[in-house]
Structure 1
Amino acid sequence: MMQRVLVLDRLKQPLMPCHPARARELLREGKAAVFRRFPFTLILKEREGGITQATGVKLDPGSKKTGVALVAAFQRRGNVVIWAAELEHRGATIRKLLEQRLGHRRHRRGNLRYRAPRFDNRSRREGWLAPSLQHRVDTTLSWTKKLMRLAPVTALSMELVKFDMQQMQNPEISGVEYQQGALQGYEVKEYLLEKWGRECAYCDAENVPLEVDHIQPKSKGGSNRVSNLTLACHDCNQRKGNLPIATFLAQQPERLRRIQVRAKAPLRDAAAVNSTRWALFQRLKATNLPVEVASGGRTKWNRSRQQYPKAHWIDAACVGVSGEAVTCDPEQVPLQMKAMGHGERQRARLSAHGFPVGHKAVSKSAYGFQTGDMVKAHIPKGKFQGVHCGRVAIRSRPSFALSTPKKAKPFDVHPKYLTIVHRSDGYVYNT
Structure 2
Amino acid sequence: MFVLDKHGTPLQPCTPARARKLLTKERAVVHHHTPFVIRLKDRTAADSETDGVEVGVDPGSKHTGIAVFTAQAGQRRGRYALQLDHRGATIRKKLEQRSAYRRGRRTRNLRYRAPRFLNRSRPDGWLAPSLRHRVDTTTSWVARLARWSPVRAVHVERVAFDTHALSAGKPLEGAEYQNGTLHGYEVREYLLAKFGRACVYCGATNVALNIDHVQPRSRGGGDRVSNLVLACVPCNERKSNRPVEEFAPKRAADILKRAKAPLRDAAAVNSTRWSLWQALDAVWPTHTASGGRTKWNRTRTALPKTHTLDALAVGKLDCITEAVRLVLVAGCTGRGTHARTRPDKHGFPRLRLPRHKQFFGYATGDLVRAVVPTGKKAGTHTGRVAVRATGSFNITTRHGTVQGINRKYVRLLQRADGYAYTTQPEGPSAAAR
Per the normalisation by structure 1, the TM-score is 0.91
Name the structure 1 match of 2:427.
none
Name the structure 1 match of 2:49.
51
For 1:427 and 1:130, the matched residues in 2 are separated by: 21
Q: Is the 8 A contact 2:239 2:247 kept in 1?
A: yes
Deviations 1:169-220 (A, max 9, x none): xx2x45438998xx95211101100110101111111100101111111111
> Between Structure 1 and Structure 2, how many residues are aligned?
414
Q: What letter corresponds to residue 312 of structure 2 in structure 1?
A: A
Name the structure 1 match of 2:127.
129
After superposition, the Cα gap between the structure-2 partners of 1:103 and 1:387, relative to the gap in structure 1 and judged at 3 Å, is same
The range that moved more, 23-32 or 115-124, is 115-124
Name the structure 2 match of 1:245.
244
Matched residue SS, 2:12: strand
Deviations 1:271-298 (A, max 9, x none): 11111111111111110x2111000011
> 69, 73, 79: which is aligned to 2:76?
79
For 1:304 and 1:229, the matched residues in 2 are separated by: 23
The range that moved more, 153-162 or 410-419, is 410-419
> 410, 414, 428: which is aligned to 2:420?
428
For 1:201 and 1:303, the matched residues in 2 are separated by: 27
The range that moved more, 294-303 or 382-391, is 382-391
2:201 corresponds to 1:207 = no
Deviations 1:377-418 (A, max 9, x none): 133444423432222111233222223344x54412232221
Q: Any gaps of 5 or more consecutive residues in structure 2?
A: 177-181, 424-433
> 86, 92, 99: which is aligned to 2:96?
99
For 1:403 and 1:300, the matched residues in 2 are separated by: 37
Q: Is the 8 A contact 1:372 1:423 kept in 2?
A: yes
For 2:120 and 2:397, the matched residues in 1 are separated by: 47
Alignment of 1:4-403 (within 5 A): 5-49=1-45, 50-74=48-72, 78-113=75-110, 118-165=116-163, 167-168=165-166, 171=167, 173=168, 175-176=170-171, 185-250=184-249, 253=250, 255-287=251-283, 289-321=284-316, 323-329=317-323, 332-403=325-396
Matched residue SS, 2:326: coil
Deviations 1:214-249 (A, max 9, x none): 111111111111111100011111111111111111
The range that moved more, 258-267 or 374-383, is 374-383
1:149 positional shift: 0.6
Q: What letter corresponds to residue 132 of structure 2 in structure 1?
A: Q
Deviations 1:52-97 (A, max 9, x none): 113101100000111111110247x932111111111111111111
Q: What letter corresponds to residue 308 of structure 1 in structure 2?
A: L
Backbone CA RMSD of aligned residues: 2.1
Q: Is the 8 A contact 1:178 1:184 kept in 2?
A: no
Per the normalisation by structure 2, the TM-score is 0.90
Matched residue SS, 1:21: helix
Q: What letter corresponds to residue 89 of structure 1 in structure 2?
A: H
Q: Any gaps of 5 or more consecutive residues in structure 1?
A: none
Q: Is the 8 A contact 1:178 1:185 kept in 2?
A: no
For 2:417 and 2:71, the matched residues in 1 are separated by: 31
Deviations 1:135-194 (A, max 9, x none): 1001100000000010111111101100133553xx2x45438998xx952111011001
After superposition, the Cα gap between the structure-2 partners of 1:104 and 1:178, relative to the gap in structure 1 and judged at 3 Å, is farther
After superposition, the Cα gap between the structure-2 partners of 1:19 and 1:115, relative to the gap in structure 1 and judged at 3 Å, is closer
After superposition, the Cα gap between the structure-2 partners of 1:19 and 1:165, relative to the gap in structure 1 and judged at 3 Å, is same
For 2:56 and 2:30, the matched residues in 1 are separated by: 26
For 2:56 and 2:383, the matched residues in 1 are separated by: 31
Q: Is the 8 A contact 1:163 1:270 kept in 2?
A: no
Matched residue SS, 1:18: coil
Deviations 1:339-383 (A, max 9, x none): 111112332210101111222222121221110111111334444
